[in-house]
Amino acid sequence: MIDPYDRDKRGKAILLGSLVLLGFLILGGRLFQMQVLVWEEYLAQSDENRIRPERVVALRGQVFDRNGSVLADSRPTFSVSVIPYLVQRNDAVLDRLVALVDADRAVIDRRLAEGLGRPYEPHRVLYDIDIRIVSIVEEHSAELPGVLIESEPVRRYPQGTLAAHVLGYLGKISEEELLAARAAGGNLTPGARVGRTGVEKEYESYLSGKDGVRYVQEDARGRPLGTLRETSPVPGEDLWLTIDTGLQAFAESLITTYRVKGSLVEQAGAIVAMDPRTGDVLAMASCPSFDPNLFSVNVPVSVWDSLSQDPMHPLLNRTSQAAYPPGSTYKPITAALGIIDDHVRPDTRLLPCFGSYRLGRRSYGCWEDRGHGSLDFQRSMERSCDVYYYQIGQEMNLDHFAELSFTFGFGKPTGIDLPADRAGLVPTTKYMNERYGRNGWGPGYQLNHSIGQGEILSTPLQIARFFGAIGTGALVRPRLLLRVIDAEGNAKPGRPALRQEVSVAGRVITLLQEAVEGVVENERGTGGAARVPGIRVAGKTGTAENPHGVEHAWFVAYAPAENPTIVVACILEEAGHGGSEAAPIVGAFLRRFFQVKEGV
């Protein structure tokens, strides 16, 4: 008979043995899985622990003007970077770094916190350091595991503020942009700088190139042991722009400080010059401006605030992003509609101007308080008589007016190769009904529209393009990119010229050409200050009402009148009359363009 005690003891032994056997089976199965089935995955993890990929930044493409002058290139710089997972395990490392280089610990902590989502990637905490700090960090590298010196090129604008709004500036890549770039196969890292505005943003894909990768072997403390392999970076492509540096600098000098009523003042304004045959933008100046070098490295918060909160808006490109009432520079649209709809003919004399025009119970003033008397079509344009155009506006169909405006490029982007290209505004019947209600507006609004006031808004670039179309009969798309040079030195054309004949009868264009030429060349024309000796100039003055203060001064011109090679538009904010303030600036620019000295 088996002792119950022995039976119980034997059962426990069997159970224990079974558990041990099961444990060995599980352990063996796990070892089989790790060493046979998924060994590649664990090998990769092992490599990641001892091999760190390091980005080798590609040299950003250079930017040149049309004559080969450098507008943007790169300079070498050094940064201190930190691998978060290594320093987090030893906080004393950061204390030592701060003590060695006399840095601000709060700044380092804030920048390091931005990289905590990627703990195994280097994250820059000190930018653009001098060689003294480089030497200190390298000398004490054994005390600073996870702290690296990285070398990379940063953007440089050797001519400072020149053409700043055309070139734009760089900014640190956002988390969303980084994810999108990686999803598209890019290898950007946190802290990479990409184009934010201007050509830098528009042609980021050309300029940025492709970064390389260096695989660095490290010990357990994060100290580099050597480079295993490296993929060389591919530099970005070089851009040649249509801008002429000499003309750009001269344009900027004309509007940075100018005379208003005899006194030099600093004020906001813009001037844009373009070849009306091809759309090549030769100069694009906006004032006030900024130095894009400020954005080449991490821009201080105080600097950014001073620029972004400045009431003068120095970051705004007024040539293509700011929309203004065009004032009398818009009168050729009204004139063309009057001719097309047979309201006026070259010899038509409407009611004489005595300084105002009465519609219903309201009087609409002319800029000339004394009036202009009885004028025909040609003289009405030369002297810019508001009363003449009020009468055309009273008779016009607003939607026909809008359609003609669209034909000449208003109310829509110009298509220039910049990331911001404002459309402006051309009011239609639908727009007016939605804004004011069907019975909330009437003929009086059209009187304002007829002289480029009211709801109409346009950019200086649109005005230049419009007058280029008057001079040549074709509307062109403005362009900045002339050609691209790749890393091997091969040239490829940039943006092709795009011309479209305006769908307006030739006789209408001819009448407009004669009228705007008289504005400058006839003795009593309002644009006489823009004359160029030996060159026939056609243009138009404009004085646009400003609800916030003094009127804006406009002037736009093309030359030679018989075969235009240049069109220039200028606006001076709160400067007064276009004929006395803006026309002399355009005249000076044209004289410089044609290399004609005044009085010769």
| Residue 569 exposure: Cα atoms within 13 Å on the Cβ side | 26
Identify which of 143, 174, 543 has the alpha carbon closest to the alpha carbon of residue 330: 543
Interatomic CA distance for residues 307 and 328, integer angstroms: 33
Pick the CATH number of 245-294+324-593 from 3.40.50.300, 3.40.50.10420, 2.60.40.1080, 3.40.710.10: 3.40.710.10
Q: From first to last of its 600 residues, what are the pLDDT tens digits of the chain?
A: 556 556 666 666 777 767 777 777 777 666 665 565 555 565 555 555 567 677 778 899 999 999 999 999 999 888 888 888 777 666 788 888 888 888 888 888 888 777 667 777 777 888 888 889 888 888 888 888 888 888 888 999 999 999 999 999 999 888 788 778 777 766 676 678 899 999 999 999 999 888 887 787 766 655 666 677 878 888 999 999 999 999 999 999 998 866 555 555 567 999 999 999 999 999 999 999 999 999 988 788 888 999 999 999 999 999 999 999 999 999 999 999 999 999 999 999 999 999 999 998 899 999 999 999 999 999 999 999 999 999 999 999 999 999 999 999 999 999 999 999 999 999 999 999 999 999 899 899 999 999 999 999 999 999 999 999 999 999 999 999 999 999 888 999 998 999 999 999 999 999 999 999 999 999 999 999 999 999 999 999 999 988 888 899 999 999 999 999 999 999 999 989 999 999 999 999 999 999 854 444
Interatomic CA distance for residues 469 and 564, integer angstroms: 10
- Superfamily the domain 51-88+98-140+148-241 falls into: Penicillin-binding protein 2a (Domain 2) (3.90.1310.10)
**Chain position carrying tokens 């990641």:** 48
Three-state DSSP state, 155: strand
Q: 435-443 — which CB contacts under 8 Å span 24+ positions? A: 443/359, 443/393, 443/394
371: left (phi over 0), alpha (psi -120 to 50) or beta: left
Buried-state track 537-559, b at ≥16 Cβ within 10 A, e below 16: bbbbbbbbeeeeeebbbbbbbbb
* Annotated domain spans of the chain: 51-88+98-140+148-241, 245-294+324-593
pLDDT for 106 equals 83
Three-state DSSP state, 218: strand
Q: Which two tokens stand for residue 29?
A: 């199965």
**At a CB cut-off of 8 Å and minimum separation 6, what does 563 contact?**
none
Identify which of 323, 452, 308 has the alpha carbon closest to the alpha carbon of residue 393: 452
Interatomic CA distance for residues 100 and 111, integer angstroms: 18
Burial class (CB within 10 angstroms; exposed 0-12, middle 13-18, buried 19+) of 578: buried
Interatomic CA distance for residues 137 and 149, integer angstroms: 7
Q: Which two tokens stand for residue 395?
A: 């008779």
483: left (phi over 0), alpha (psi -120 to 50) or beta: beta
Q: Are strands 263-265 and 499-501 parallel, antiparallel or unpaired?
A: unpaired
User: Are 405 and 426 a contacting pair, CB within 8 Å?
Assistant: yes
Q: How many CB atoms lie within 10 A of CB 466?
A: 28
Q: Are strands 499-501 and 170-172 parallel, antiparallel or unpaired?
A: unpaired
The secondary structure of 338-363 as a DSSP string is: HHHTTS--TT---SPBSSEEEETTEE
339 phi/psi in degrees, rounded to 5? -70, -45
pLDDT for 243 equals 98
Interatomic CA distance for residues 590 and 527, integer angstroms: 13
Interatomic CA distance for residues 70 and 568, integer angstroms: 24
Interatomic CA distance for residues 478 and 192, integer angstroms: 31
User: Are 591 and 532 a contacting pair, CB within 8 Å?
Assistant: yes
Q: Which two tokens stand for residue 588?
A: 């000076």
Chain centre to alpha carbon of residue 210 = 23
* pTM attached to this predicted model: 0.85
Interatomic CA distance for residues 214 and 222, integer angstroms: 15
pLDDT for 275 equals 98
Strand partners, 217: 51, 226
pLDDT for 233 equals 86
pLDDT for 599 equals 45
User: Are 167 and 72 a contacting pair, CB within 8 Å?
Assistant: yes
130: left (phi over 0), alpha (psi -120 to 50) or beta: beta
Assess whether the previous peptide bond of 224 is cis (omega < 30° from 0): no
pLDDT for 600 equals 43
